[in-house]
Structure 1
Amino acid sequence: MLNFPTLHTSPFLSVLPETLANKVKEIAVVVKYNDGEFIHDRGDMKRGLSIVKTGAVNVGVYGEDGAFILTSTLGEGQCFGEFTLFTKLPRTHHAAARGVTEIYQIPGKKFMGLTEKEPQILNALLTVTLMRTHYLIEMLDAFRRLPLRERTAKTLVTMMGPRGATGTKGGEYKISCRQSELASMLGVTRVSLNRVLQQLADLTLIKIGYGYIEILDTNCMISWVGRHCGLTALEG
């Protein structure tokens, strides 16, 4: 599964003590969605926090041709909709269930009321949100500045999570993802992505498999990205 914008963030509930995580769950309503069923639409003004209990959520927008452009897939424990708690802005993306999915739905007033009594919950949400923002700023630089081959390589390093951030471990690393999803998130055609993936494979940096991309040596990959992308990975 490809958790593009949440690769460097811990699931919201996991950064809370168990007692506080349980309090968050107690004020939530668990809603079950079937595969492809929309959880919310772009433009919705409904205020509240959503947390993936089981399954996954596809997040994206529709292009002018009517095709759904996937921007991320959120897995269990990941949250979304947090900005609606603090602003009166509409939701920017559609969110739909990927497979049968259960969501903790928490109305805005209930969540904010709980945080007044338990401010540590709000601190945890802020931490997760800022980590996500930090990652997105890094990737925005890659999208604006780098050719597709280098951008793809940097994205793969980022998808390695903490190992990609620090580069302290070598060896192989397998990333489970569909090339169609990766192409959509990079904003390119699958043909273009296949071409640059093959270039990276020819450099013996990766191995392309069915439903996965394998980094053959993580240290070599991180070093290559550092040399060709102009900026080294930040440690954190």
Structure 2
Amino acid sequence: MRVLRAKTRTLYDLLPQPVLDRVLATGTSRGFKDGQIIQQRGDDRQGISVLTSGQIVAGNAGADGSFLVSALLRPGETFGEFTVMAGLPHTHTLWSQGETTITFIKGSLATRLMDEEPAFAHALLTIALLRNHELLEFLDAQRRLTLPIRIAQLLLTSVDSKARADTVECRQEDLAVTLGVSRVATGKALKRLEQDGMVELGYGRIDLPDVQGLIAKVEADDPLFMLPRA
């Protein structure tokens, strides 16, 4: 399964190397095999974890037993901050995607690090605000935009915004899981984009024959939508 998500800044981007080295040295490293559960929803162990290699998928089981994916974490991202800062339990079950390594920092040690290394506290706040912004944008899109446009936005996060054409390696099921909609609804939305010449559906991939046209289509429905053009 592939979860599509725009790249955001992480501890690797936000911390000076000496501070990052100290943060990682303070914690305990642990490896996970592909598909191994890292934590369960409701766990109340206090601490901050840093994903140092691999990927982590976050989600929860639905009422019908299906698993609803909420996010994909990449190296340098963190989780568990609110167990330390707010005394709240974990909200999601996490499992590894591929060989994965995390560094766990106990709550008391994480608190001391934030006091002694203001850059660490600032980085955690920045990451929290970036996630909050991402969540608000996701909720806004669910309420305001059509499913074809939401799918187009998601596909565009995975391609070069300056390209004339590109390909996203993913299945229709991956899009459905990421957006929390049915496979049938996703298929219908993709067919509409295909009829408009915006996508071409292949086996395990979706071709974008006119990236700039797709960007223009999205921006016409959502003028505030932006992609990095660097």
Q: Same fold (TM over 0.5)?
A: yes
SS in 1 for 2:217: helix
- Residues 126, 209 of structure 1: CA spacing in aligned structure 2 closer, same or farther, 3 A cutoff? farther
1:69 Cα offset (Å): 1.6
Counterparts of residues 74-113 of structure 1 (less than 5 Å): 74-113=73-112
1:232 maps to 224
Counterparts of residues 19-30 of structure 1 (less than 5 Å): 19-30=18-29
1:180 Cα offset (Å): 1.8
For structure 1, which segment, 211-220 or 194-203, has the greater mean C-alpha deviation from structure 2 after superposition? 211-220
1:215 maps to 208
1:204 maps to 197
For structure 1, which segment, 216-225 or 89-98, has the greater mean C-alpha deviation from structure 2 after superposition? 216-225
Contact 1:3–1:74 (CA<8 Å) still a contact in 2? no
- Residues 134, 37 of structure 1: CA spacing in aligned structure 2 closer, same or farther, 3 A cutoff? same
SS in 1 for 2:108: helix
Report the Cα distance in structure 2 between the residues aligned to 1:73 and 1:212, rounded to whole angstroms: 19
- Calculate the aligned-residue CA RMSD, in Å: 2.2
Contact 1:52–1:78 (CA<8 Å) still a contact in 2? yes
Report the Cα distance in structure 2 between the residues aligned to 1:170 and 1:199, rounded to whole angstroms: 22
1:56 maps to 55
Letter of the structure 2 residue corresponding to residue 190 of structure 1: R
Is 1:34 matched up with 2:33?
yes
1:130 maps to 129
SS in 2 for 1:171: coil
Report the Cα distance in structure 2 between the residues aligned to 1:209 and 1:26, rounded to whole angstroms: 45
1:59 Cα offset (Å): 0.8
Contact 2:41–2:93 (CA<8 Å) still a contact in 1? yes
Is 1:176 matched up with 2:177?
no
TM-score scaled by structure 2? 0.88
Contact 2:83–2:90 (CA<8 Å) still a contact in 1? yes
1:3 Cα offset (Å): 4.8
- Residues 84, 214 of structure 1: CA spacing in aligned structure 2 closer, same or farther, 3 A cutoff? farther
Q: Percent identity?
A: 33
Letter of the structure 1 residue corresponding to residue 23 of structure 2: V
Contact 2:4–2:158 (CA<8 Å) still a contact in 1? no
TM-score scaled by structure 1? 0.86
Report the Cα distance in structure 1 between the residues aligned to 2:107 and 2:114, rounded to whole angstroms: 11
Counterparts of residues 158-173 of structure 1 (less than 5 Å): 159-160=157-158, 169-173=162-166
Report the Cα distance in structure 2 between the residues aligned to 1:125 and 1:175, rounded to whole angstroms: 31
1:141 Cα offset (Å): 0.7
Contact 1:70–1:185 (CA<8 Å) still a contact in 2? yes
Q: Deviations over 1:191-216 (max 9, x none)?
A: 22122112212222123334333333
SS in 1 for 2:24: helix
Report the Cα distance in structure 1 between the residues aligned to 2:133 and 2:43, rounded to whole angstroms: 26
Q: Across the two proteins, how many residue pairs are aligned to each other?
A: 227
Q: Deviations over 1:23-48 (max 9, x none)?
A: 11101111112232211111111221
SS in 1 for 2:110: helix
For structure 1, which segment, 205-214 or 182-191, has the greater mean C-alpha deviation from structure 2 after superposition? 205-214
1:116 maps to 115
Letter of the structure 2 residue corresponding to residue 75 of structure 1: R
